[in-house]
Amino acid sequence: MIEAAVIGIVTGAIYGLIALGLVLVYKGTRVINFAQAEIGGAGLYLAYICTSHGLPWIAAAVITIAGAAILGIVFERLIVRPMGDAPRLTVAVATVGLFFALFSLEFYFFGQSPEFVAPPITGRGIEVAGFFIGPMVLLSFVVIAALAAALTAFLRYTDFGLGVLAAAQDATAVRLIGIPLGRLNMFTWGIAGALSAVAALLIEPQIGTVSPGAIGEPLFLGGLAAALLGGLTSLEGAFLGGILVGVAQSEAQHLLLATGFPGISAVVLFVIVLLVLLVRPQGLLGTLRARAEIGGAVT
Amino acid sequence: MSTELAVSSPLDGEVPGGAGRRGRGGLLTPRRSNILLVLAACLLAPTVIGGSVGQATGLAMTQLFHPASALLLSEAAAIAIAALALNLLTGYAGQISLGHAGLLGAGAFAAGLVTGRLGLPFWVGVPAGAAATGVISLGIGLPALRLRGLYLAMVTIAFGYLMYSSVLRLDFFTGGSAGVILPRTLWGKHQLIENADWLSVPLICLLIAWLIDQNVMRSRLGRALRAIRENEAVAQAFGIDVARYKLLAFVISGAMTGAAGALYGSAIGFVNSETFPFTLSLSLVIMIVVGGLGSRSGAAISAILFFLFAYLLEGLPFPWLKGLDGIVGAVLLMYTVARHPGGFASVISELREGRRPKRATSDDEEPPMPALPNLPRPEGLGARPAGDGAGPVLEVQGVTVRFGGLVAVDGASLAVPRGKIVGLIGPNGAGKTTLFNAISGLLRPSAGRVVLNGHDVSALPAHRRAQLGIARTFQQIGLARDQSVLENMLLAQHLLAGYDSGQALLRTPRVARQERELDERARQAIAALGFAGRENVPVNRLSHGQQRILEVGASLLTDPELLMLDEPSAGMSPAAAENLAERLRDLRDVLGRTVLLIEHHVPLVLDVCDYVYVLNFGQILAEGTPDEIMAHPDVIGAYLGESEAVAV
């Protein structure tokens, strides 16, 4: 029970990273990036190539994260920006295209057969209250906490970061006072890509293998549920939502394992997405503005 | 900010109202293509029987098709049906689904239960699959009543994932084994074992799906769906029950998808949870978006081409080509949404028409409003309860509308007597349009009553009030502006069509006859309004003034008890407004209509109205005849201003 909760918290924190990327992009461009997790999922193949050529895990991770960030930036420049003020759903369909492109590329180059990225650290981990916390779990906690702190500090205490937050509030006003909106959006998509890669690298040891879509799909749905639960516009909400989703999933799996019911985690995610959107569309920490958008105005 | 998918006008050959292209001389008019398709079906049908009796006749399709290519075509036909189904939902009704593969799977599994487990023939199994998914998609449709755009996309992708990783792995479906067998039983022990014999079945089903799709688009059902995609408020104002039609779109699309899944499963004979992967939903989206959202032929053709393309690449002697189809599709999708949102269909129609300027007429062309046509209510079409004729047509009693803490309308009361023009004036933000929305039902007031012809309609939704005879215009033109003049005039007659959606799907003679009448009436109105020859021009290519004329004409086509006009003179030149005054008087004096008019143009109001209400800060500040209003000190002080009052 407690062990399941701990596993849930770490999975949930990783969902939180994906949710953070979703929230940043949503705040910046009002688009849901359906490729948010698949960017990292594809990035894992980069990590696989690097480690299988003898590079240490940490170098592979850096290359993967950089690659994912570049992919995010390139997508913003090539697709999102030229679309300008197109309906948001149309831009979202473009991200569906990116998801499918990445998935197809994985399939094209690596096929269905699963690959393996050796985890950076192995061992028994440390014992807390009678059960073991694995080394990857500890690493995940450290990395995510550091990342969240760094990102928060950057957004709150640098001019550029404040610009990103301001643009999320009112893009027109930001443009009028002379902040280059394009560069802010590029940054947002780049960070979203990097976060995706970190999330994928951290969750990969839990899943164990890399195959097309196998990491990106559950990670995206988990991150989406987390972002919605957190409120879709709240950075803190993304992590809160992530942890709640992760724990709910883990506990449900723990409790219902004996029933043999397939895909419990998918059921949990679907229920959370549906319930949040229908019952509390502004999520736990979101603003009412998001609520007004989900149904559209009457006239 | 709109969250709906942008779609351009579909191919000309697919606009509803088949008669619309008389004289355009296209080779494949809907009528001719129907005949061709029916002929094709007649040719194919015997082979099903032929095949089942062991190819005794020697005429079976086994001689025409290699088994592998017959299988491939069977699968492609099934996928094309799924693409048509998704296009119906997303392209026509504007409701996106990123989880349709889940429905394909459910259809196949349900059919498998019937054909594999119970041993019933496929012609029971395929409808069973359709029925099962029809019910499931009713369930997905329910959240869609509250969620739009991106949010519907999120729910449907979560649904797709749920189906893929959980539901389709349940023992109930799979019987504990790895998957479900779908035998192609025709009757008893006869099975369509040969792929070439089976091929007729998916082809005939594709033909049926195509015809149903065509029937939908040539009826009020399709017009309602397209109106919902463009503007739900406008759809409601024309009497369309948005919730009902959205659900209907989900059910029709879901049932078609389920049938497609059953056909696909029967073609390959065995399905498991990996047969319909999560990403297949996205492939379907690629097919319909690249083909051209809202284009029937675009969806079907691109589905078949994408499907065959994958096999073509495998068959070529270059191994590196294998699997490139997904990448090509994804890139095409991104390119399409970024550069050509109308997809391939719009590219073709542009090529065929030659590149036209975005607007056929310039904005400064402001035609005078022509005499408005008086079209009698067609006989034999739906009737509505009339008032006793004694009381006022509309009574508004103490209506209050709150937005959170803001009171937009505060206890407003007014009455509109039969055969009169009543004006509602007031400064910007006084709450005039909000009151209009409360009267027409787009908003629920927090207090007060709206009484139409003596019936309290306060509890009724907008489309029901439209049914009872309230017609209204909008400041931003209440028409489906991406659609043609003719389509809008047909849309306006939504409530006059006396057939139900089931009849529309089958296009019964009754539907055809009524559609002819509605078409005739629409054309009369178009001619009377001065748009003869421009029936097929999209409304958004007309000037603002022209759109306004059409809008007023469309609202008259609904044969309203009460006509509510929201700033008809907005954006008009003084000369055009002068002409508008004359037309408004015609509405009352010639056509005998009852009008409630919001106007900023005060001289116009004082000129034409029998009675005027002044709204300020949500409250009725003054009321009276135009003379009384002109002399009212509060009105002069609070609204008109001293100098303007003199000018009037």
ipTM of the complex: 0.93
Q: Specify which residues B451 forms β-bridges with.
A: B395, B456
Q: State which of B65-74, B196-205, B224-233 shows the largest mean pLDDT.
A: B224-233
Measured between beta carbons, the chain B residues lying within 8 angstroms of A93 are 5, 96, 285, 289, 333, 337
- pLDDT category, B382, cuts 50, 70, 90? low
Could you report the per-residue pLDDT of A101-110, keeping only the tens digit for each?
A: 999 999 999 8
pLDDT reading at B19 higher than 50: no
- pLDDT category, B3, cuts 50, 70, 90? very low
- For residue B332, what is the nearest residue in chain A, using CA coordinates? A97
Q: Tell me the CATH number at A102.
A: 1.10.3470
Could you report the per-residue pLDDT of A20-67, keeping only the tens digit for each?
A: 999 999 988 888 999 999 999 999 999 999 988 988 989 999 999 999
Task: List, in order, residues 6 or more apart from A34 with CB less than 8 Å away.
Answer: A92, A95, A96, A98, A99, A220, B98, B153, B157
pLDDT at B26: 45
User: Kind and range of the H or E element at B88?
Assistant: none
What span, in angstroms and rounded, lies between the C-alpha atoms of B190 and A43? 52
* Residue B618 identity (one-letter amino acid): G
B282/A96 Cβ within 8 A: yes
How long is chain B?
A: 648
Q: For residues B471 and B594, is the Cβ–Cβ distance under 8 A? A: no
A261/B155 Cβ within 8 A: no
Strand ranges (E), B417-561: 421-425, 447-452, 455-456, 470-472
- For residue B444, what is the nearest residue in chain A, using CA coordinates? A298
Interface test with B, best of A91, A219, A259, A270 (most B CBs within 10 A): A270
Span of B171-185, B426-440, B558-572 with lowest mean pLDDT: B171-185
pLDDT reading at B356 higher than 60: no
pLDDT reading at B161 higher than 90: yes
Could you report the per-residue pLDDT of B601-633, keeping only the tens digit for each?
A: 888 888 899 999 999 888 998 899 999 988 888
Q: What is the mean pLDDT of residues B280-286?
A: 94
Q: How far is CA B10 from CA B84, B180, B347, B514, in A?
A: 14, 39, 10, 24
Question: Longest Cα pair distance anywhere in chain A, in angstroms?
Answer: 61
pLDDT reading at A140 higher than 50: yes
pLDDT at B2: 43
Span of A163-167, A295-299, B541-545, B616-620 with lowest mean pLDDT: A295-299
- pLDDT category, B56, cuts 50, 70, 90? very low
pLDDT at A19: 96
pLDDT reading at B62 higher than 90: no
B151/A277 Cβ within 8 A: yes
Total number of domains in chain A: 1
What percentage of chain A reaches a pLDDT higher than 70? 92
pLDDT at B536: 92
Q: For residues B213 and B30, is the Cβ–Cβ distance under 8 A? A: no
Task: List, in order, residues 6 or more apart from B212 with CB less than 8 Å away.
Answer: B252, B256, B505
- pLDDT category, B135, cuts 50, 70, 90? very high
Task: List, in order, residues 6 or more apart from B16 with CB less than 8 Å away.
Answer: B217, B218, B219, B222, B223, B487, B490
pLDDT at A275: 92
What span, in angstroms and rounded, lies between the C-alpha atoms of B220 and B205? 24
Domain that holds residue A230: 2-295
- pLDDT category, B569, cuts 50, 70, 90? confident
Query: Which of 105-144 (A) contact B at CB < 8 A?
Result: 105, 107-108
The shortest C-alpha distance from A194 to chain B (Å) reads 22
Q: Which residue has the higher pLDDT, B260 or B371?
A: B260
B474/A277 Cβ within 8 A: no
What percentage of chain B reaches a pLDDT higher than 70? 84
- Domains plus CATH for chain B? 31-278 (1.10.3470), 393-469+560-648 (3.40.50.300), 485-559 (no CATH)
The shortest C-alpha distance from B507 to chain A (Å) reads 33
The four Cα atoms A281, A284, A286, A291 give a dihedral, to 10 degrees, of: 20
- pLDDT category, B38, cuts 50, 70, 90? low
* A298: nearest CB among B5, B279, B437: B437
B323/A107 Cβ within 8 A: yes
| Residue found by looking up tokens 């006859």 in the block | B513
A108/B334 Cβ within 8 A: no
Measured between beta carbons, the chain B residues lying within 8 angstroms of A84 are none
Q: Is A182 on the interface with B (CB under 8 A)?
A: no
Could you report the per-residue pLDDT of B446-502, keeping only the tens digit for each?
A: 999 999 998 999 999 999 999 999 999 999 899 998 899 999 999 999 998 888 899
pLDDT reading at B639 higher than 70: no
What span, in angstroms and rounded, lies between the C-alpha atoms of A94 and A98? 6
Q: Which pTM value belongs to this model? A: 0.89
Could you report the per-residue pLDDT of B411-450, keeping only the tens digit for each?
A: 999 999 999 999 999 888 888 999 999 999 999 899 999 9
B594-598 and B421-425 strand pairing = parallel
A131-133 and B190-191 strand pairing = unpaired
* B333: nearest CB among A97, A260, A295: A97
For the beta carbon of residue A259, count every other beta carbon within 10 angstroms.
8
**For chain B, what percentages of helix, strand and coil (3-state, to nearest 5) are there?**
55, 10, 35
pLDDT reading at B366 higher than 70: no
What span, in angstroms and rounded, lies between the C-alpha atoms of B608 and B444? 30
Q: What is the mean pLDDT of residues A196-211?
A: 88
Could you report the per-residue pLDDT of A240-256, keeping only the tens digit for each?
A: 999 999 999 999 998 98
Q: Is A274 on the interface with B (CB under 8 A)?
A: yes
Q: What is the mean pLDDT of residues B241-261?
A: 96
